[in-house]
Amino acid sequence: MLPILKNIEPFSVFLGYEKLQNSSFSSSIVHVIVSFAKIFMIFFTGIKIFYYKGHGNAMIVCDRPYLLSNNLLNFPGSDLPNIISKNRINYLTNKEVIINAKISIANVIDFYLYVKNSGLSLKGKFALASSLMTYIGCDNFKKDILHTLKSIDVVLCNDPASPFVRNFINLSRESHCHVKLICETRLDIFSIEWLDFYGYDVYSLKGQQKDLKKYCGINSKILIQNFSTKKINSSSSIFEYRLLFLQQYYHPLAFKSRFRHFCNNIGVAIRPMVLTRLHPNERFPEIFIFKIMHVIGIISVSDNTLNEDVERCKFSISFSSTALEYFYNVTHRPCKYISKKNFGIFDNSAIK
């Protein structure tokens, strides 16, 4: 018999993040502009989610396509799972069903009151509004989501911070589905998104199990990963690049300075024979600069899939991306975290 689990507050993580941060005045102005632009567009265009029919009785729920990992797709017992996503998954467009909804004045009022009563400073409220704007009206999909869950027994997800994912988890519990969460990211004291999931069925990569217990009090099960080891001899094979740099976007709680973080990224990317793979969540200014530098030949930025980049590069490095561990698991070629916090996890020959 499954335990009785509490309802998860959809927006609490974003509110918690803003309480830990101190937004600058200039960024608050940007947040105001972005918020008004988003709400204007959403109010007139409506919102949509994307459903991809599988053949099993498991459902994967994800916010952004890059979170649709192999660990979710190959989870034991999730035979050809169904997928529901807040954003389009481009390589599955031939199988998608688009579910549309409109937002109402009532949705906007509820959103305004939530931000107004958040207890944040004015700058914090602007930042919170900008972060949550695209999630207005997520509960308008309740009827459609409950319908898709009728034939589902297991719900899988790995992004417990997303309000969309949290709303889906609540609806899954209403439908008596078994919710299983997978922790694939590195954890720290600010990883508050997991705090609400004590008592849930949580699986983790081996390296995350201790931190889940340390920071969140969660006893997780080790996720057994099914990797097919690539038969590549790194000493004799010819690779297009020597290093695959798995870049990380700036997060104010993870990195002290956005400018210094950007400079560190560029410092790695300009090395000879380095292919840079930009994080899908990177912000526009950084993406623009990286792309310009790529066009004029100063750095090389990838436009390919992660699997293709793994084949093209002999070694891999990153400041904190857990995609580095994927690289190691499928190739067993040297790679390394280069931040002070995570140093020495893998063979250091990748950056000699």
Q: Residue 346 sits in a domain of what CATH number? A: 3.40.50
- Out of 222, 257, 286, a domain closes at 222
Q: Compute the chain's Rg from CA coordinates.
A: 21
pTM assigned to the model: 0.78
**Residue 236 maps to a domain:** no
**Residue 257 maps to a domain:** yes
For residues 159 and 128, state if they share a domain. Answer: yes
Q: Nearest 5°: CA angle at 190, between 276 and 250?
A: 25
Q: What is the pLDDT at residue 3?
A: 52
For residues 209 and 279, state if they share a domain. Answer: no
For residues 35 and 140, state if they share a domain. Answer: yes
**Residue 53 maps to a domain:** yes
Q: What is the pLDDT at residue 325?
A: 80
- 78 lies in which domain range? 12-222
Q: Strand (E) positions, the chain?
A: 47-52, 58-62, 82-85, 96-101, 154-157, 178-183, 201-204, 221-222, 241-246, 274-277, 300-301, 313-318, 335-337
For residues 212 and 260, state if they share a domain. Answer: no
Question: What is the total residue count of the chain?
Answer: 352
- Out of 190, 222, 254, a domain closes at 222
CA atoms in the 13 A half-sphere facing the CB of 2: 15
**Residue 35 maps to a domain:** yes
Of the candidates 271, 347, 276, the one whose C-alpha atom is nearest the C-alpha of residue 309 is 276
String of DSSP letters for 56-109: SSEEEEESSGGG--HHHHT-TT-SS-EEEESS--GGGGGGEEEEEE---HHHHH
**Residue 162 maps to a domain:** yes
| Long-range Cβ contact pairs of 131-134 (< 8 A, separation 24 or more) | 131/14, 131/17, 131/18, 132/11, 132/14, 132/163, 133/34, 133/35, 133/38, 133/39, 133/42, 134/38, 134/42
- Could you read off the pLDDT tens digit of each residue along the chain, which spans 352 residues? 445 567 889 999 888 888 877 666 666 677 677 777 777 788 888 899 999 998 889 999 999 888 888 888 888 776 788 999 999 998 888 889 999 998 888 998 998 899 999 998 888 888 888 888 889 888 899 999 999 999 899 999 999 999 999 999 999 988 999 999 999 887 878 788 998 998 899 998 877 888 889 888 899 998 877 655 454 445 546 899 999 999 887 776 667 777 888 888 999 999 999 999 988 777 778 888 999 999 999 999 998 888 889 989 999 999 878 788 888 878 888 888 886 554 333 443 444 4
For residues 27 and 172, state if they share a domain. Answer: yes
Contact yes or no for 273/243 (Cβ under 8 A): yes
Look-up of token digits 């400041």: 319
For residues 254 and 327, state if they share a domain. Answer: yes
Decide the pairing of beta strands 335-337 and 58-62: unpaired
Number of domains in the chain: 2
Q: What is the pLDDT at residue 83?
A: 94
d(CA 114, CA 141): 20
CA atoms in the 13 A half-sphere facing the CB of 257: 6
What tokens appear for 21 in the block?
Answer: 């941060």
